[in-house]
Chains A and B, each alone.
Chain A
């Protein structure tokens, strides 16, 4: 496999990715896509891509990444409160804060590896969560506004912007006058496609994030990180100190998380403490594993699948279910409703748990491994291509 071919593959991959992101709203419309959901895909995609740089490459399993996302979103909301409603400074400050937090926590946590590293990150994240939920939300030292979450107010100073719009409402988040929440509609193939300005911003960042992650995967630095995963001891014996590399990966992924948090606040200016809870960290682990850790595209797919399932299953109720099984005879219909209802609506966590277990048991490489297996079935015994999206356990080249 020569370098030229693989760089051409990369070019196709990034072009394909751009096309997929650009057409996202159109592709998703028949499946019940709507602007907020698409933004969520992009934001959690970024989060998962970042997490994958740490977990996929170095093998360090962090259970505390949600803390960086939370810190980033608090930073962004504070930026909206103090600076103004432009999203760029907010996103930048979110990345900086995410990076700072991860540098601090990473520096300490990376002194250990394996399960100890996981527990350390988990402990730090829980500390952040507990503090943000209560102590830092108390009047007098109100950084987070506690349980209610940090929200914008009409009387926020916004030194470089206006506190309130002319009509007396809180001005919407915008990028040089382009409002994030504004929704455009157009008709295509007989359906109405909705897309918001915010999606374009998210899309831009997810493409950038993807590109950067690809460059890291292909760089000598990325190679070094993989080496850390494969055999850290051997690395140390060759006289290399691996910790700076791991820390760099940790901070980069922390900045990705900060970026995701900043975008989240930019799309919806509110930051809540639950974003930092360890179960939220668990969610990004789920996404990455579900899609395929260590692959370029897998984490984004995982993020999309989980957010999509969450969206569908939690919206099902008896009314919808009965309508869904309408075509069946009455007794069979109600039987089906009875069987499926524990898995949807209030039971959708059960579905999530079951799907997740099945994936870990049968497809430890995530969906990407599933795709690769299906691809191999079709290609028979032909030599496997070396596309980046291929088999997860094997380094791409």
Chain B
């Protein structure tokens, strides 16, 4: 590949037309008419676009997502041990590529910024001919890229995005989410918190002041108030505040006996460490031990908080210590290739890539509308989360949610979380017209014509 021919499409078309010599410019033809759908693969490969954060605060998570994608491509093309293809309930994929075409991929850097994410997604669609965009590590980016894919006419398989809006008010026909959301976190955590901490608690929320934080705060309030907890205060903290002391000291004398940290990433690491530093884990208020809850956990981020996570409850989409056949197969092939277990971000991305490939194989085409049809209402199993449904009405996956707790006695540096409970699907299922998810419309599927 020469330096100046970076574009795969440019290269293909360039070499195909080589020898034609000085072709005269034909009358402008709209690309729309030439193809049945945008980026219809004509060669023997099909291109996926992996759009992950490579720079910025979530770069490590992005790197893990990319590892998972590379593994997925390897498995789709028949390499390695096949990974989850062995346990997947659908047997359409055999490791011989998808629809007879080998899977190729291009990568891009979202920088965890909507603009940059859309720019790199556009590059992959326009220049590299990607048929499907997947990845991302924040809801803002996921929603922005999902909107772009809808307008461009390709499929978007969301990576790590936890906000309700992704499949709520910002849902799109071309976009699909495997990851869970704040509503499910709340629904799963509620009963566990009740069982462990009782019904008489006073909760103090610290919330990251942006869309996901508000969404998480809302869900946690709903479910903790449902078990009889009282919300003392909900304070918004600026994103990336670093030192949270000015938000933490009011908690100490507020009469609250529970602190709920609606933070993620660096904010979570810092606010949790500092809360522990302020003695909150050793405190006794109203005759009860003071407790901290982190609604959304990520093992990668928990590493950053070190000792502080011990004994603290939260929820997660998947964890490598799960014992079902799917999880074990995935941990095995990931661990053997990279030497450490995959994160939940890696898992959801791997599964999303597989689900897309499977849908295309079952539909027999890469036409976005056919794939939408194949995924809508699709039920599958063996991907590490148990029986799962891709609901047709909002393109959200419904599957059991894990409630986890910071491990008191980790046996290795990866063994930070322990699975406390697997909340069954029906407990976290919500109706399509749930008030937190209203105001959106899937619209119609767009094939880019």
Contact = CB atoms under 8 A, between A and B. Distances in A.
Given A270-B147, A346-B55, A317 B3 contact: no
A270 B170 contact: no
Interface residues of B, number: 74
Nearest to B126: A34
A191 B126 contact: no
A367 B29 CA distance: 38
Contacts of B9: 192
B144 A36 contact: no
A31 B4 CA distance: 5
Contacts of B31: 183-185, 194
A167 B449 CA distance: 11
Nearest to A311: B123
A30 B444 CA distance: 36
B26 interface: yes
A229 B30 CA distance: 50
B17 A130 contact: no
Contact of B108 (A35, A182, A315): A315
A127 to B, nearest CB: 12
A351 to B, nearest CB: 12
A187 B214 contact: no
A324 B6 CA distance: 10
A271 to B, nearest CB: 9
Contacts of A270: 114-115, 118, 144, 147-148
B1 A323 contact: yes
Nearest to A316: B107
Contacts of B443: 154, 164, 168-170
B156 interface: no
A149 B28 contact: no
B245 interface: no
Interface string B18-47: 111111011111111010000000000000
A190 B5 CA distance: 14
A338 to B, nearest CB: 17
Interface stretch (A113-121, A133-141, A233-241, A379-387): A133-141
Interface in A26-82: 29-37, 40
Interface stretch (B83-91, B205-213, B370-378): B205-213
The A interface, classified by DSSP as helix, strand, loop or mixed, is mixed
A33 B7 CA distance: 8
Contacts of A152: 147
Contacts of A170: 151, 443
A243 interface: no
A85 B175 CA distance: 23
Contacts of A330: none
A219 interface: no
Interface in B48-101: 54-55, 59, 62-63, 66
A315 B17 contact: no
A314 B144 contact: no
Nearest to A36: B122
A315 B122 CA distance: 12
B10 A30 contact: yes
Interface in A303-322: 311-312, 314-315, 317, 319-320
Interface residues of A, number: 64
B23 A190 contact: yes
Given A151-B147, A274-B114, A30 B5 contact: yes
Contact of A315 (B25, B107, B126): B107
Contacts of A274: 113-116
A2 B105 CA distance: 58
Contacts of A130: 238
Interface of B: 1, 3-7, 9-10, 13-14, 17-23, 25-32, 34, 54-55, 59, 62-63, 66, 105-109, 113-116, 118-120, 122-123, 126-128, 138-140, 143-144, 147-148, 150-152, 163, 165, 170, 209-212, 214, 236, 238-239, 441, 443-444, 446
Interface of A: 29-37, 40, 130, 133-135, 137-139, 145-149, 151-152, 154-155, 164, 167-170, 172, 181-192, 194, 268, 270, 272, 274-275, 311-312, 314-315, 317, 319-320, 323-324, 326, 345-346, 348-349
Given A149-B140, A194-B126, 19 more contacts: A30-B5, A31-B4, A137-B211, A146-B140, A149-B114, A151-B147, A169-B443, A181-B151, A187-B20, A189-B23, A190-B19, A190-B20, A192-B10, A268-B118, A270-B115, A270-B144, A274-B114, A274-B115, A315-B120
14 contacts: A32-B7, A36-B126, A147-B138, A148-B139, A148-B143, A148-B163, A151-B170, A169-B446, A187-B26, A270-B114, A272-B113, A315-B108, A315-B120, A348-B109
What 4 pairs between A and B have smallest CB-CB spacing?
Answer: A346-B54, A34-B127, A32-B6, A272-B114
